[in-house]
Structure 1
Amino acid sequence: MTSTHTGADDTGRRSDDAPIEETMSRTGPEERALLPTATGAETLAALRSMLGGHRLSAVTAVGVLVAGTGIGLLTAPLLGHVVDLVVERRGTDALIVPMVLLVVVAVARGAATAVGSALVARLGETVLAALRERFVERALGLPLERVEEAGSGDLVSRVTGDVTVIAKSVRQALPEFSRSAFTIVLTLVGLAVLDWRFLLAALWAVPVQVLAVRWYLRRAAPVYAEHRVATGALQHQLLDGVGGVRTVRAFRLNGPQLDLMERRSRAAMDLALRGIHVVTGFFSRLNLAEFIGMTSVLVTGFLLVDDGAVTIGTATAAALYFHSLFNPVNAALFLLDDVQSAGASLARLVGVSALAAPPEPDGRAVPVDGSVKVSSLDYAYVPGHPVLRDVGLEVSGGERVALVGSSGAGKTTLAKLIAGVHRPAGGSITLGGADARELGPAGVRRAVTLISQEVHVFAGPLAEDLRLARPEADDDALRAALDKVGALEWAEALPDGLDTVVGEGGHRLTVTQAQHLALARLVLADPPIAILDEATADAGSAGARVLETAALKALEGRTGLLVAHRLPQAATADRIVVLDGGRVVETGTHEELVAAGGHYAQLWAAWSQSRPGPTAGVKEDGA
């Protein structure tokens, strides 16, 4: 569908609806209603649910890894046997069979480990893909008001940073952790087979390792969770600062913005350094555990050989077994670092994907036309600071109405409320005779399309970008939509016509072309009500005139609401509604309002005086 991106700050307000001081003050993550994060139990339950449909794949992967690990455990006894043969001076001929077996074991182990790791990684990628799809589906269904309350950085950091962390763990950490875990368990079994006293000796390292893990988990989990939140806050601030750079410059807020960026960067950096300190302390404790365990095994081996209970080869095999535990134990425990980070990221994704979908309406409420009725409408972004107060508005089906007013009057907020972006604090909105609450979010989206001045060009073929509004549309329908808004000529002149890849990494469209594309989507979507939130403002004067003509074509046959900052565009509307201080103060045609000498007449006089030349009138500047 068409874009509803409006260049909003973290409260969802544009510069025409809020004082800049208030907008810039509400930027701390503690003041934003962040999207939910799942608890540990909820995350595990979601993971079990996703793995439930892949039991055969999971069993196969585990079986192959266990087989590979078991084959690898034959290396230590074979080397111990070689030691015994050398001690007994059996000659070189006696070494042929053990050496051949060592080669066979190495090849078989490598093959099984490679296949098992690939199966584990494939299983992980499959589950991750399902989680991503579930997350995106739920995120796209979130009320836009809820997303704006959380701030753009919170959702973006989950889609990018958190998914990246989990993907890295699935591709690297999960296979390695699985191999390490199986190696540890089977190696301990191997030590017990050699002699149960070797197993007891090796277990002396366990208390130190357990204490090290407990010490690590108590400190790492909060640090990683805080770091993910701090990273999201930093990303939000980056997006907010870059997106509002013109406002920042206009109000000379460079200094405060840089200070805020520095504080958030420092907070994220301090948490990262705390994490590194925790990891360093963790590995120093693991090194102590290795020293205690190896010393215990060597002493036990010496005593058992001296007592004649085992051979030198068996003691050698036991030492090799314990030494072979160094890497898997350290890897498994080290991967707790990745597991903690991935767990925090997974909880953030599950927290969104597990949100309950809004209740669907019963379908009995259906708009019968394109009329809009707003009754006693109230709205506030911040409690106690109303933006709209007792607003009433009636628009007939097919009528074209312009919303005008000074900056902060509430024009964009009213448009967003009608489009379902925000929910009113009081009053009601009726679309085509049906209450918007009974229509539900999906019903409102079908009835109303909002186009802002900042549309998005999706990466991919131009035709597919258009089909986002109507997936079943054929090429003829696409060309008809482009032709209606006057965009067919430049679209067909692209290198590959409608198959030209546009957006990120493709052919870059001009501002005018991007808005043309949004208007063509509007034609394809064919809603009964369309809202244009200054959709021609960024195209320059020549481009604006072209787009104003295109907008008029796109609005043919449907109700049109125009949030107009260019008064000549408003003057061409059937009716003008003037807002001031969050209230409707005037309504009428351009000629009636100018003759009345009220608020609109003052705006029109100020606009006319700011334009050079004899004409600032409707005919020259209008569509």
Structure 2
Amino acid sequence: MTTTDGTPNAMTDEARNERGPAMSAAGTAERELLPTATGAQTLAVLGPLLRRHRALAVAAVTVLLVGTGIGLLTAPLLGHIVDQVVERRGADALTVPMVLLVAVAVGRGAATAVGSSLVARLGETVLASLREQFIERALRLPLERVEQAGSGDLTSRVTGDVALIAKTVRQALPEFSRSAFTIVLTLVGLAVLDWRFALVVLVAAPVHYFTVRWYMSRAIPVYAAHRVATGALQHQLLDSVGGVRTVRAFRLGERHVELVGRRSQSAVDLALRGNRLVTGFFSRLNVAEFLGLGSVLVTGFFLVDNGSVSIGTATAAALYFHSLFNPLNAALVLIDDAQSAGASLARLVGVSSLPGEQEPARPGVPADGSVTVASLGHAYVPGRPVLREVDLEVRSGERVALVGASGAGKTTLAKLIAGIHRPSGGSVALGGVDTGALGPAGIRRTVTLISQEVHVFAGPLADDLRLARPEATDEELRAALEKVDALPWVDELPDGLATVVGEGGHRLTVTQAQHLALARLVLADPPVAILDEATADAGSAGARTLESAAARALEGRTGLVVAHRLTQAATADRIVVLDGGRVVETGTHDDLVAAGGRYATLWAAWSDSRRESEEPVPG
């Protein structure tokens, strides 16, 4: 199944109604969120990506090590100056050390800048590869699995999680790398001054160790839960706002406000727990600093007193440990960012590691555009079937309208035929081949679905159209637009087919966006097309225009129309009426009106409402 609107997981009001008020109100409470990877799974994905950029990684590490090593010369140079002052060598003795200090500062700054840039480039490159893997796998996920998780979960991963990782890569990763190298080389420098300085510094190590252990054991689950809570909140907002008509129809406003408030409070509570952990973390680090510096000063006093080291050496040792404050605290503080980024990274890898759609070893080939539905049943929630024993045969080239009250099962039937959902029972065959034997790719080649929610991709209009047929020429694009009567308004755009549309570009009206979707349908040229209330949001005038365009787009192919306006049904070859998940009537418009059944009642109500809307308002 190919969705020409680019939003395969979008849920229309009709679909929400078919899932029922309980499902709409429950929101994400009943959803099966996409998985989050374990630490081992995340490392297994990152390993090959890092090895692919081995040269860049080696260069970044080398330059940072050189810059850090140069910077460590500052403390012994200052110690040497102290010794020169104590020994009263005069101002001339300070010239060379001062020049060397300037050279060290310049060298360290240059190396640090280059090294940080290389580390950031490495991180951005790996992130770009991971993001591409995520998008590729997300687009290949079974559509039913995406709908189960909800659009909010997937959206929060590709937006919020990616943004958080990118920020960490640009800011925290270079700083963490510099800090880690500084800590290691500073300890080596202390040992070179006197092994006893390196030994007493270890007094602070247990405090640091237990502080990090205390923090990580509590922070990891908190940050992971916060990311999940944020995704649930985002989905609930999308579900409530996107389904506002359903919410109003079932008087679920208070319930949805309560759900949004509950999910917001959950996200806030987790954020506050994280802040309290950070406060406790810093207070423990202050204790470690006091113990470490106090130990170095006391040790320096005794070593100078017994003549083991000079005052300058003791000064250098104290400066070395004092210079550890910033990198050590930065490294430990950045664990906070690392936990958030790690939780987000695990969510990306969790999707990237999901198995894609399973294709049959020898996929079948449809003989024509016929559709056969046998004993079809489906339930979104066990025990609450939406469709029950539906049988339907659509001849190749026939245009059939699916009609029924909201929640009758029309959209669910359309999605089962399009392969978005797998039926709970029964079967669907396209061109005489069961959809299971066709496989997802075969279904997409056979069926195109257009919903009322059309996505206009950012970029030139021609590129948007070529999503349906990449090799299409400009003449073919214009022919498709002309077929659906969209060419006049396209020619009036500032740059015609080259006009940039979508986000940040020329804004298309609802009618124009649906015209675009119908033109994609013509370009894709599938044997079977499904229009799921594709004209519902266009307004009366726009709907009449689109109904005519849709009729032309369906020429030469099998068409199933989920009819929002019964004028669409009246012009169909055959009408199938659903009620309570069952087919209750089938026939032509005239036959069903004459029969006086369910369709006749719907038609009479529809006709009355149209007459009332067309009556002139008294002056």
TM-score, normalised via structure 2 length: 0.97
Counterpart CA distance in 2 for 1:502 and 1:189 is 59
Counterpart CA distance in 2 for 1:360 and 1:237 is 33
Question: Which residue of the partner structure matches residue 46 of structure 2?
Answer: 47
8 Å CA contact 1:378–1:389 kept in 2: the answer is yes
Structure 1 segment 68-467 matched on structure 2, within 5 A: 68-467=67-466
- Deviation, structure 1 residue 605: 2.1
- 1:492-520 Cα offsets, whole Å, 9 max, x none, are 10111111111121111111111100000
- Deviation, structure 1 residue 609: 2.6
Question: Which residue of the partner structure matches residue 3 of structure 1?
Answer: 5
Structure 2 unaligned runs (5+)?
A: none
- Deviation, structure 1 residue 384: 0.3
Question: Which residue of the partner structure matches residue 15 of structure 2?
Answer: 14
- 1:410-461 Cα offsets, whole Å, 9 max, x none, are 1110000011111101111111122111111121111100001121111111
Matched, 1:25 2:46: no
Identity across matched positions, percent: 75
SS in 1 for 2:376: strand
8 Å CA contact 1:9–1:23 kept in 2: the answer is no
Counterpart CA distance in 2 for 1:13 and 1:274 is 40
8 Å CA contact 2:535–2:564 kept in 1: the answer is no
Counterpart CA distance in 2 for 1:119 and 1:19 is 54
- 1:98-120 Cα offsets, whole Å, 9 max, x none, are 11111111111111111111111
8 Å CA contact 2:36–2:348 kept in 1: the answer is yes
- Deviation, structure 1 residue 13: 6.2
- Deviation, structure 1 residue 221: 0.6
Counterpart CA distance in 1 for 2:614 and 2:107 is 87
8 Å CA contact 1:15–1:407 kept in 2: the answer is no
- Match of 2:82, as an amino acid? V
Question: Which residue of the partner structure matches residue 574 of structure 1?
Answer: 573
Structure 1 segment 544-583 matched on structure 2, within 5 A: 544-583=543-582
514-523 or 497-506: bigger deviation: 497-506
- 1:189-217 Cα offsets, whole Å, 9 max, x none, are 00000000000111111011111111101
SS in 2 for 1:408: coil
Matched, 1:59 2:61: no
- Match of 1:610, as an amino acid? S
Question: Which residue of the partner structure matches residue 620 of structure 1?
Answer: none
- Deviation, structure 1 residue 571: 1.1
8 Å CA contact 1:4–1:452 kept in 2: the answer is no
SS in 1 for 2:538: helix
Change over 3 Å in CA distance of 1:108–1:8 after alignment to 2 = closer
- Match of 1:134, as an amino acid? Q
Question: Which residue of the partner structure matches residue 483 of structure 2?
Answer: 484
SS in 2 for 1:428: strand
Question: Which residue of the partner structure matches residue 496 of structure 1?
Answer: 495
Counterpart CA distance in 2 for 1:562 and 1:548 is 10
- 1:253-309 Cα offsets, whole Å, 9 max, x none, are 322222221111111111101100000100100010000000000000000000000
- Deviation, structure 1 residue 537: 1.6
Counterpart CA distance in 1 for 2:90 and 2:363 is 93
- 1:93-143 Cα offsets, whole Å, 9 max, x none, are 111111111111111111111111111100100000000000011111112
8 Å CA contact 1:4–1:451 kept in 2: the answer is no
Counterpart CA distance in 1 for 2:545 and 2:551 is 10
Counterpart CA distance in 2 for 1:67 and 1:614 is 79
Counterpart CA distance in 1 for 2:480 and 2:121 is 43
Counterpart CA distance in 1 for 2:397 and 2:11 is 32
- Match of 1:319, as an amino acid? A
- Match of 1:14, as an amino acid? A
Counterpart CA distance in 2 for 1:351 and 1:613 is 54
Counterpart CA distance in 2 for 1:71 and 1:309 is 26
- Deviation, structure 1 residue 599: 1.8
Change over 3 Å in CA distance of 1:134–1:365 after alignment to 2 = same
- 1:523-573 Cα offsets, whole Å, 9 max, x none, are 111111000011112111111111111001101111100011211210101
- Deviation, structure 1 residue 227: 0.5
SS in 2 for 1:309: coil
SS in 1 for 2:361: coil
Counterpart CA distance in 1 for 2:163 and 2:6 is 27
Question: Which residue of the partner structure matches residue 600 of structure 2?
Answer: 601
- 1:198-241 Cα offsets, whole Å, 9 max, x none, are 00111111011111111101111111011011101111111111
SS in 1 for 2:378: strand
Question: Which residue of the partner structure matches residue 472 of structure 1?
Answer: 471
- Deviation, structure 1 residue 613: 7.3
Change over 3 Å in CA distance of 1:614–1:491 after alignment to 2 = closer
- Match of 2:52, as an amino acid? G
SS in 1 for 2:449: strand
Counterpart CA distance in 1 for 2:280 and 2:612 is 75
Structure 1 unaligned runs (5+)?
A: 617-623
Counterpart CA distance in 1 for 2:349 and 2:498 is 37
Counterpart CA distance in 2 for 1:164 and 1:378 is 42
Change over 3 Å in CA distance of 1:9–1:553 after alignment to 2 = closer
Counterpart CA distance in 2 for 1:45 and 1:95 is 54
- Deviation, structure 1 residue 68: 0.7
Q: Flag as ranges the 4+ runs of structure 1 deviating above 4 A.
A: 4-10, 613-616
- Match of 1:293, as an amino acid? G
8 Å CA contact 1:6–1:452 kept in 2: the answer is no
Counterpart CA distance in 1 for 2:261 and 2:358 is 42
SS in 1 for 2:89: coil
- 1:353-398 Cα offsets, whole Å, 9 max, x none, are 0111222223441112111111111100000000111111111111
Change over 3 Å in CA distance of 1:42–1:278 after alignment to 2 = same
- Match of 2:94, as an amino acid? L
Counterpart CA distance in 1 for 2:129 and 2:556 is 42
- Deviation, structure 1 residue 614: 13
- Deviation, structure 1 residue 468: 1.1
- Deviation, structure 1 residue 610: 2.5
Counterpart CA distance in 2 for 1:121 and 1:326 is 24
8 Å CA contact 1:527–1:558 kept in 2: the answer is yes
Cα RMSD for the two superposed structures: 1.7
Counterpart CA distance in 1 for 2:103 and 2:565 is 81
TM-score, normalised via structure 1 length: 0.96
300-309 or 585-594: bigger deviation: 585-594
8 Å CA contact 1:411–1:563 kept in 2: the answer is yes
Counterpart CA distance in 1 for 2:271 and 2:614 is 61
Change over 3 Å in CA distance of 1:93–1:367 after alignment to 2 = same
- 1:3-61 Cα offsets, whole Å, 9 max, x none, are 26489559x962442432x13332244x3211010011111111112112111111111
- 1:593-612 Cα offsets, whole Å, 9 max, x none, are 12222221222222223331
Counterpart CA distance in 1 for 2:371 and 2:492 is 39
